[in-house]
Chain A
Amino acid sequence: MAGTLDRERPLAAPEQRRGVGGWFDPRGRRMGGFAFILNRLTGIGLVLYLYLHLVVLSMLARGPDAWDQFVDIALSPPFLALDVLLLVGMLIHGLNGIRVGLIGLGLVASRQRAMFIALMTIAALVALVGALRIFGGE
């Protein structure tokens, strides 16, 4: 009986297989699955950044010397490269999040693949412009 029930149960979506380990299982994964993984990974990165940001902001409470010294360091090229990475993460998570929200609310589900491609194209273009501006270009 249990075997019958197991056979009748639909296969779990790739992203739901074997917990977090299943995220990295590419078998049978479609674009929506990759978008799911991308959203999770950028989300984890942004959560880590949120707490790092709060720690960094504590320097403001130590007075002008501590903060202005940090600003000098933060404007160095390696830190600016991390800013670009942060911008990329925010764009991917934010724009893909719009898609996830719309689909979850039952809207545009049939267009999710096209939406993902369009939103990620926008993310790439904005990231490129942002990177040029962050490194001082116009």
Chain B
Amino acid sequence: MAIGPTTPAARPEPGPRHAPPFLGQVVSGAALLLLLGLHMIAQHFVVPTGLRDYASVIDWLGSPVVVFLEVAFLVVVTYHALIGVRAILFDFGFSGRTARLITNLLWVVGIVTVVYGVALFAAILNAG
């Protein structure tokens, strides 16, 4: 039997579609260097004790620009984190349906995380 591109042995692994989206990880990682840097400076480094007290947090979150940057940080860090979890899970050798299920589940986890975070911002601002 001739080995051609249609034989099972010669078929490519379910690669590019299920492989970790490396470029997304690099781009979100680069964005995180900036957003995490800003978060750490604003929330920790410029605060004498390293942690803002309640009044200071409410005052800081009063700026729409700050809220936008913090939400952007939340979205990017969640994406980067879960794409990393996906890559680790794929080290177990999952492919096909299981791989798609994992990807879809992680999308749900990511969306829930971001919605929870944004709701938390709203609750904090309302409480303040």
Contact = CB atoms under 8 A, between A and B. Distances in A.
Interface residues of B, number: 33
Contacts of B78: 50
A64 B9 contact: no
Interface in B54-110: 54-55, 57, 77-78, 81-82, 84-85, 88, 91-93
Interface residues of A, number: 36
B96 to A, nearest CB: 16
The secondary-structure label for the interface of chain A is helix
The secondary-structure label for the interface of chain B is helix
Interface string A41-58: 001101100110010011
Interface of B: 9, 22, 25-26, 29-30, 32-33, 36, 49-51, 53-55, 57, 77-78, 81-82, 84-85, 88, 91-93, 113, 116-117, 120, 123-124, 127
21 contacts: A16-B91, A43-B88, A44-B88, A50-B78, A58-B120, A60-B57, A60-B120, A60-B124, A60-B127, A61-B123, A63-B54, A67-B54, A67-B57, A71-B51, A83-B50, A94-B36, A97-B29, A98-B33, A101-B25, A101-B29, A101-B30
